[in-house]
Amino acid sequence: MQITELEVWKASMELAKSTYETSGNFPETGSGTLSAMIRSAATSIPANIAAAASRKHGKEPLNNLQKAKGLIFELETQLYLAEKLGYISEDQLNSLLEQVDTSRRLLFGFIKYYQRSDNHQWNNHHSDSQQDFNSDETQPDTSF
């Protein structure tokens, strides 16, 4: 399976794109700006998913997925701050949070699937077992 076929990667790429576009109008005062932090977190989510997909064995792929999980929460916090500072509207925040939620649900399901899969070789699994990607950690039933 190619990384571009994974729903979790696709959703996180869309989130990164939307976040990147939205943060383009933030005030810039240096490399540590909120815009730079948001863009870094947003682009690192699909990058960590891709890094996990490139490895078939060991704990490193799961570590990459856990990093992506942490980055989603980091990004969510940064988006709330951006709204509080007036950099984005409440509507923009809500739109981005919907994408955050979708990416998070897919990632949680994928982590759970990965943890259960034999030998952590999820690259060899087919996407036809969609229910394996649902997570008990979230309420909505979403396919991977």
Q: What is the pLDDT of residue 126?
A: 37
Q: Is the pTM of this model over 0.85?
A: no
AA letter at 21: E
74 touches 125 (CB < 8 A): no
Residue 143 Cα distances to 10, 12, 55, 93, 115, angstroms: 12, 14, 22, 24, 17
Give the C-alpha separation, 123 to 135, whole Å. Answer: 19
46 touches 16 (CB < 8 A): yes
Q: What is the pLDDT of residue 71?
A: 98
34 touches 87 (CB < 8 A): yes
Give the C-alpha separation, 37 to 80, whole Å. Answer: 13
Q: Give me the tens of pLDDT residue by residue for the chain, a chain 144 residues long.
A: 688 999 999 999 999 999 999 998 888 776 568 999 999 999 999 999 999 988 766 688 899 999 999 999 999 999 999 999 999 999 999 999 999 999 999 999 989 888 887 444 544 443 433 344 444 444 433 344
Q: What is the pLDDT of residue 117?
A: 74
123: Cα separation from own chain's centroid: 18
Which residues make Cβ contacts (< 8 Å) with residue 35, sequence separation at least 6? 23, 24, 26, 27, 28
Q: What is the pLDDT of residue 32?
A: 66
112 touches 135 (CB < 8 A): yes
